[in-house]
Structure 1
Amino acid sequence: MKLSAEIRAFQQRLGYEFSDPELLVRALTHGSVSSSTRPDNQRLEFLGDRVLGLVMATALLEADKKASEGQLAPRFNALVRKEACADVARQIDLGAVLKLGRSEMLSGGRRKQALLGDAMEAVIAAIYRDAGFEAARDVILALWGERIHKVEDDARDAKTSLQEWAQARGQKPPAYVEVKRTGPDHAPIFTIAARLQDGTEAQATAGSKRQAEQAAAKALLERLG
């Protein structure tokens, strides 16, 4: 199977060249453009999520041999959650080679966090199917890189931290207010304000309310120092 120049360039960014290129093409195929002869990446996504989980669980155990399960769990979640996968996907410009239907392309599918995260997991599974666990592990560790060593900072839930900050100062829990909603119904964009009792606030925008709330809480914590 002959790959396009764009996908060959993507393999270089990924740091892995496929023996079976069809696996990569399938990993990049979204359901909006799939057919009976062109399967989408959902089954690979399912597998890739598990491969990523095993790699990260092992890496965390090796990185901190004294950490308890209670300490490891939030670190693990921070490394495998959809946001982290999407960040890695953006790092290697995975969106540029996603195979999408017209409606998804018009609605900004190449930038959507959910699509990027799912495709990143599917690519991981494709590497696993192509060359085995060690090959997939090596690519994951290379791409996640410093995230693994800095995960303690990312593992803290911003909304929880902000609530603890407010309660420690005798304030009510922060309020999260939807300031604006834009975009089509199937792909809304939310702007949320995290607001303290004294009126101090910060805003953030994301493709889901939960993500926008977390980002707003993080921005407010940074503003508070």
Structure 2
Amino acid sequence: MPKYYDQREIASLPSRDLLRDLLRAPLALVGLKGHPQPYDSLLAALLTWENPDQPPTIALLQQRAHLKPARFRPTLELLYQAFLDALAAEKTVIRCPEVTHCFIIPGQHQNQLVWCQLARVPQVGENVELDFLWAVTGRDTYFVENITSEYQEGKITVYLQLAAGRYDPYYQLLLARARFENKLTHSLERQLDEESLRAWLHSAYGVTKASAPVPDVAARRSRKNR
């Protein structure tokens, strides 16, 4: 399997970005322990850092890893290269056994989050009935507009963005077209409720409601005389 990043490419990446990635995959870093390497002291310092969302300063890491300033950056690059090699190896180093789902439900004034665990994940376009948030949303019928899965070490979070009403493929096609053509801005879309938005789309694309077909007079008479 070819390597997609080599040492020369890593040398061009910011130190803060490299540290951020390493701190967010502690299990992968643990797998690098056990064989003496030039980056062992830096590896140990990162594994004992308690706040992955706030990387330590380079000065603090140099102190904890007992690295001179001139050696810190080369050592960090060696560690990051080993990290990428471990991820690309056939042996699994990232595991996400825990799966959590989150419905993002549009309310009358703001979105409402509902965290849950689902035995089956509804797909995009699938209708969803939720009848326990009527007071804040004003409805109980939605459909899945899009799905985003966030993969972090140890868990997967699946976000299901719901939209009000039932899924209408033609309406969704017009909506996507209006967004793509920049006819429908985000600010305008936020101002319109579902009924107003449908009316706006009909007007923007010259869609007219077809009247009900009128049966032929001769055909009506024929059925009546049977």
TM-score by length of 2: 0.29
**Bigger helix fraction:** 1
TM-score by length of 1: 0.29
Q: Which has the higher contact order (CA 8 A, sep 6+)?
A: 1
